Amino acid sequence: MAKASKLLIYALLVAGAALFVLPFAWMVLTALKPIDQTLSRPHEWLPRRFEAALAGQVLEVHPGGPVTEPSLWVLQSGVRRPVVVSEASVWDGLWHPAIGAPVPVQLLKRVPASVSQPWIEVSDLSGQATDVIKASSLRSRVSFRWENFPLAIRSMRHFSRYLANTLILCLLNVMGTVLSSAMVAYGFSRLEWRGREWLFGLLLSTMMIPFPVVMVPLYGLFRSLGMVGTLQPLWVGSFFANAFSVFLLRQFFRTIPRDLSEAARIDGCGEFRIFWQIILPLCTPALIVVGLFTFLGAWNDYLGPLIYLTDERDFTLALGLDAIKSSESGATEWPYLMAASTLIILPVIALFFVAQRRFVEGIALTGIKG
Amino acid sequence: MTPGDRKRTFVGLAFISPWLLGFLVFTAYPVCASLYYSFCDYDVLSRPVWVGLLNYQDMVSDGVFWQSVRNTLEFNLMALPLGLVSALTLALLLNQPVRMRGTFRAIYYLPSLVPAVAGAMVWLWILNGRLGLLNQALEALGVSSPPQWLVDPKWTKPSLALVSLWGCGNTVVIYLAALQGVPQSLLEASMIDGASAMRRLVHVTLPAISPVIYFNLLIGIIGGLQVFTSAFIMMGGAGPERSVLFYAIYIYQNAFEYRHMGYASAMAWVLCMLILVLTLLASRISRRFVHYQG
C-alpha cells in the first residue's frame, strides 16, 4: 500500500478514536473537579485546587466574585459575613446602599482594586472564613478531587440499596436466562422431533414484536399479581428463556458432534443428563457470552425499572442516577453527576476488558449468522 | 406417529417448556390482550370498556400523535444513515492491515456498552449551552453564537443523533466481522484484473457484505422507530416544543402518565404494523441489492 494512504488511514483511525474517547475523558476529568471550576468559563481541562492564605494559614478556598473597582471590605453590625462594597458608597462610617436606609459598618480592609489589578473574594470550604485578596495571590495547582466520589455516593441517598437492587437483578437475570435458554436451545438443536422447526420459527418471530405492544398488558398482569413496586417483574420473565439467547446458544450447540450424544445414549444416559453433564460443560464459552449480554442488559436497563419501580428505595442505579439529575434545584452539580456516571460505567468497562474476546465473538456471531 | 416419535416429541417439548410457558404468558397473552385493549377505553384500575375504533380514529385527529410520527421519522432519516455510513467507514478503515487493530476496535466498541442513563448524563454536560465542551470548543474556533443544543427545538434532534452516533461501535464490530469474511480470492482476482481500490470496494467488498448491511439496516429501522431512553432522560420527555416527543415516548406518556392504556395499545399496534410494512418493503428492495453467497 502506498505510504501516503497508509498514513491517511492511521490519521482517520486516531481522529475517530479520539472523538470516541473524548466523552469518557471529559466525564472523568469533570468528576475530579471542584464545582466552582465547572461553572466558570473558559473551561480548563485539568482539575485544580485553589489556595490562598486565609486566617494566617494556606487553605483550600472557593474563589468568589472578582472585584474590579476601588472598594471596601466592611462588616455590618449584627451580620456575621463581611461584604465588599464600592468605596464611593461609604462615608461618615455609614454604608449607603442603592436601596434602603444607610447602615453603620465597620471597615475591615481597603480594596484598591481596578480592572487591570482585580481582587477576589475567597472563602474556605466550609464558608466560615472569608477574605478579599489580590487575584494574583490566589494560587492554584493541578489536583484530583477524589473525595467527589464519596460525596456523589452520598448525594444518591440510597446508593447502597440501588447497588444491591441492581446486583440482585443482574444475578437473577443471568441465572434465569442462562439456565432456561440453554435448556430450550438444547431442545431446538440436539433433539429431533416433530414440530421443532415450526416452533423455532415461532420463537424467532417473537423477536419482531416491538416492546410497546406487550408493555401495557404485561404491566396489567404484574399489577394484578401484586408485583408492581417490587423487583419481581424485572427478573421473573428471564426464567422463561428469550429468543435472542436461545438463538445464539442453538448456533453453538449445533457445532458439537452428534456422535457424542449418541454414544451417551447407547450407554443408557438420560437426555437431561446428556444436556447437563456433557453438552453444557462443552458450551461454557457460549454460556458466558449469553451471561455477559444478560448482565449488561440488566445493569443498563432503564425503561423496565422506570415502569415497575415506584418507591425511591427500590430503585436501581440507573434510576437513582436519573433521580439525582432531576432533583437538582438550580445549578446542576456536574462533578457529582459525572462521578456517579463514572461509577456506573466503570464495572461495564472492567467487564469488557476482562472478557473482550467473548464480546466481539458474540456480536459477530449474532450479526453474521442472523 | 410411532411410540418412539411420540416419546421424542414429548422430550423435545419438555426441554423447550420454559420458553413455551413464557411464550404463552409473556408474549401470546399480552399480544392478544393489547389488541383487545386497543379497541377499549382502559386505565388499568377499572375494567376495559369496548369503544370500537375510537382510539384509532382519535389518532388520526390527534395533532400530538402526528408530531410524534414526524419527529421519529425526521430523527431516523438523520441518525440512521449517519450511523450506518460512519460504522461502515470505521469498519473499512479497521479492516486495513493496521497495527493495534484490537485497541481501536475496543475504543470504538466501548461507548455502545455504556448504560444509556450514564451516557445521557455525559452528553447533557457536553452539549450544555453555556458551559458544555462542544460549545466552548466551537467558541474557541470562532463560532460567535453556537447552537443551544438541548434548548433550541431546531437542534435537539441533531443532538440526539450525535449521541446515538457515539454508540455505533456495535455496528462497527458486526461490519468488521463481515469484512473479514470477504473471500480473499475474489479481491486478489480483481486486483490482478487491475481494478482500483475504489472499484474493488464497490464491485467486490460491498456486494459481498450486502446481507450484513441489510441486516444492520433492518435492526436500525426496528430500533430507531422505538427510540426512547436517551431522549426521555436528556430532555425529560417531550423536549422543547415537543421536538423530541418520539413515538415510543408518546406511547409511554399515554400509558403511564395519562393512563390512556387503550390509546397507548392502539399506538403500539400501529407501530407494529409500520415495522412490518417497512420490513417487507426493505426485503422487497433488498432483493435487487443483496447478494447471498452459496
Report the residue of chain A nearest B13, measured CA to CA: A187
Q: Mean per-residue pLDDT for A74-92?
A: 84
Non-local CB neighbours of A14 within 8 Å, separated by 6+ positions: none
Interface test with A, best of B125, B135, B168 (most A CBs within 10 A): B125
- Chain pair A-B, CB pairs under 8 angstroms: 279
CB-CB: which of B90, B131, B255 is closest to A216? Answer: B255
Above 90 in pLDDT, residue B94? yes
Q: What are phi and psi of B248, to 5 degrees?
A: -65, -30
Report the residue of chain A nearest B29, measured CA to CA: A217
Query: Which pLDDT band holds residue A1 (cuts at 50, 70, 90)?
Result: low
CB-CB: which of B110, B216, B226 is closest to A211? Answer: B226
Q: Mean per-residue pLDDT for A306-324?
A: 93
Q: What is the pLDDT of residue A331?
A: 66
**What residue spans of B167-260 are helical by DSSP H?**
169-180, 184-192, 197-200, 206-208, 210-225, 229-234, 247-252
Identity of the amino acid at B277: V
CB-CB: which of A26, A203, A219 is closest to B133? Answer: A26
Domain ranges of chain A: 3-36, 49-151, 158-327
Record the pTM: 0.89
The whole-angstrom separation of Cα A332 and Cα A330 is 6
Report the residue of chain B nearest A337, measured CA to CA: B121
Report the residue of chain B nearest A308, measured CA to CA: B256
Query: Chain A residues with CB inside 8 Å of B136's CB?
Result: 41-43
- The two counts, helices (H) then strands (E), for chain B are 16, 2
* B177–A367 C-beta distance less than 8 A: yes
Query: Chain B residues with CB inside 8 Å of A41's CB?
Result: 130-131, 136
* B19–A349 C-beta distance less than 8 A: no
* Interface check B150 vs A, CB under 8 A: no
Q: What is the pLDDT of residue A329?
A: 53
pLDDT digits (tens, 9 = 90+) for B9-67: 999 999 999 999 999 999 999 999 999 999 999 998 899 999 999 999 999 999 999 99
ipTM (interface predicted TM): 0.92
* Interface check B20 vs A, CB under 8 A: yes
pLDDT digits (tens, 9 = 90+) for A244-272: 999 999 988 998 888 888 888 898 888 99
* B118–A344 C-beta distance less than 8 A: yes
Query: Which of A273, A281, A207 lies closest to A241, judged by CA?
Result: A207
**Distance between A154 CA and the closest CA of chain B, angstroms:** 18
Q: What is the pLDDT of residue A101?
A: 85
Q: What is the pLDDT of residue A296?
A: 95
Report the residue of chain B nearest A324, measured CA to CA: B121
Query: Chain A residues with CB inside 8 Å of B102's CB?
Result: 356
Query: Which pLDDT band holds residue A364 (cuts at 50, 70, 90)?
Result: low
Q: What is the pLDDT of residue B269?
A: 97
CB-CB: which of B131, B181, B255 is closest to A368? Answer: B181
Domain ranges of chain B: 62-289
Q: Are A166 and A317 in contact (CB under 8 A)?
A: yes
Residue window 55-84, chain B: list those with CB within 8 Å of chain A: none
Q: Are A47 and A36 in contact (CB under 8 A)?
A: no
Q: What is the pLDDT of residue A367?
A: 52
CB-CB: which of A39, A240, A344 is closest to B22? Answer: A240
Share of chain B above pLDDT 70, in %: 99
* A370–B124 C-beta distance less than 8 A: no
pLDDT digits (tens, 9 = 90+) for A119-134: 888 888 877 778 888 8
* B125–A338 C-beta distance less than 8 A: yes
Above 60 in pLDDT, residue A327? no
Report the residue of chain A nearest B257, measured CA to CA: A307
Residue window 206-265, chain B: list those with CB within 8 Å of chain A: 212, 215-216, 222, 225-226, 228-229, 233, 236, 248, 251-252, 255-256, 261, 264-265
Query: Which pLDDT band holds residue A106 (cuts at 50, 70, 90)?
Result: confident
Which stretch of A6-10, A96-100, A165-169, B244-248 has the lowest confidence by average pLDDT?
A96-100
- For A340, the grid coordinates are 456517579
* Higher pLDDT pick, B131 / B30: B30
Above 70 in pLDDT, residue A326? no
Burial class (CB in 10 A: 0-12, 13-18, 19+), B228: buried
pLDDT digits (tens, 9 = 90+) for B186-201: 888 988 888 888 899 9
**Distance between A119 CA and the closest CA of chain B, angstroms:** 24
Query: Chain A residues with CB inside 8 Å of B98's CB?
Result: 9-10, 13
pLDDT digits (tens, 9 = 90+) for A174-203: 999 999 999 999 999 999 999 999 999 999
Above 90 in pLDDT, residue A80? no
Above 70 in pLDDT, residue A369? no
Query: Which pLDDT band holds residue A210 (cuts at 50, 70, 90)?
Result: very high
Query: Which pLDDT band holds residue B108 (cuts at 50, 70, 90)?
Result: very high
* Higher pLDDT pick, A120 / B263: B263
Strand partners, A130: A123
Query: Chain A residues with CB inside 8 Å of B178's CB?
Result: 367-368
* Interface check B275 vs A, CB under 8 A: yes
Q: Are B278 and B72 in contact (CB under 8 A)?
A: no
Strand partners, A121: A132
Please give the mean pLDDT across all residues of chain A: 89
Q: Which helix (H) or strand (E) holds A109?
A: strand A103-111
Interface test with B, best of A7, A12, A13 (most B CBs within 10 A): A13
CB-CB: which of B178, B268, B279 is closest to A215? Answer: B268
Query: Chain B residues with CB inside 8 Å of A13's CB?
Result: 90, 93-94, 98, 104
Query: Which pLDDT band holds residue A59 (cuts at 50, 70, 90)?
Result: confident
Query: Which of B293, B12, B20, B109 lies closest to A363, judged by CA?
Result: B109
Q: B62-289: CATH homologous superfamily?
A: MetI-like (1.10.3720.10)
Interface test with B, best of A240, A294, A309 (most B CBs within 10 A): A240
Burial class (CB in 10 A: 0-12, 13-18, 19+), A92: exposed
C-alpha angle with apex A301: A227 to A210, nearest 5 degrees? Answer: 85
Helix pair angle (B210-225, A356-369), 10° resolution: 100
Q: What is the pLDDT of residue B13?
A: 95
Above 50 in pLDDT, residue A370? no
Above 60 in pLDDT, residue B179? yes
pLDDT digits (tens, 9 = 90+) for A4-33: 888 999 999 999 999 999 999 999 999 999
* A271–B226 C-beta distance less than 8 A: no
Interface test with B, best of A20, A224, A294, A321 (most B CBs within 10 A): A20
Q: What is the topology classification, in CATH, of domain A158-327?
A: MetI-like fold (1.10.3720)
* B122–A215 C-beta distance less than 8 A: no
Q: What is the pLDDT of residue A337?
A: 94
Q: What is the pLDDT of residue A366?
A: 61
Report the residue of chain B nearest A239, measured CA to CA: B18
Report the residue of chain A nearest B211, measured CA to CA: A368
